[in-house]
């Protein structure tokens, strides 16, 4: 049925639980997984404190380290269950677009993701990336709560 599952992660607790559930599901059905995370590019003019306080090189290095930790959650879970896994870091200011583009480019036939990553005012103002994936995508999405 499903052969390649995209597991987007933002490093949150709920996202990490969705990754573990996605890898377990992949094991049960004999599918591969693609772990991915999307991080914004450096901007000179921004309200993001991490960018204001860093040079571009410092920000990019720190964000790649952070992404490596997020993606290690996927690769470690896959390795422990014997599931074939690849990971990808995408630079994008629109995570839902990066998720959908990565799924298409990597030939994924299912996306497994958490119900939401942002909470509180940030979630209200910015909206749920999961909701945007559901609205704009054509690939089946399994939402983990």
Per-residue pLDDT of the chain (145 residues; tens, 9 = 90+): 899 999 999 999 999 999 999 999 999 999 999 999 999 887 665 555 555 567 888 888 989 999 999 999 999 999 999 999 999 999 999 999 999 999 999 999 999 999 875 555 555 544 589 999 999 999 999 999 8
pTM of the predicted protein model = 0.87
What are the structural domain ranges in the chain? 4-144
CB atoms within 10 A of CB 30: 11
CATH of domain 4-144: 3.40.50.620
**Side-by-side strand order, sheet with 141-144:** 85-91, 32-39, 4-8, 110-114, 141-144
């Amino acid at each position: 049925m499903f052969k390649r599952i995209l597991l987007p992660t933002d490093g949150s607790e709920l996202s990490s639980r969705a990754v573990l559930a996605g890898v377990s599901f992949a094991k049960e059905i004999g599918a591969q997984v693609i772990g991915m995370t999307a991080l914004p590019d450096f901007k000179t003019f921004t309200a993001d404190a991490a960018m204001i306080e860093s040079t571009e090189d410092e920000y990019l290095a720190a964000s790649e380290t952070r992404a490596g930790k997020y993606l290690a959650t996927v690769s470690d879970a896959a390795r422990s269950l014997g599931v074939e896994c690849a990971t990808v870091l995408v630079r994008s200011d629109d995570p839902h677009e990066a998720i959908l583009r990565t799924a298409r480019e990597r030939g994924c036939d299912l996306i497994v993701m958490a119900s939401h990553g942002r909470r509180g005012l940030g979630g209200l103002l910015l909206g749920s990336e999961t909701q945007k994936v559901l609205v704009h995508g054509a690939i089946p999405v399994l939402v983990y709560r």
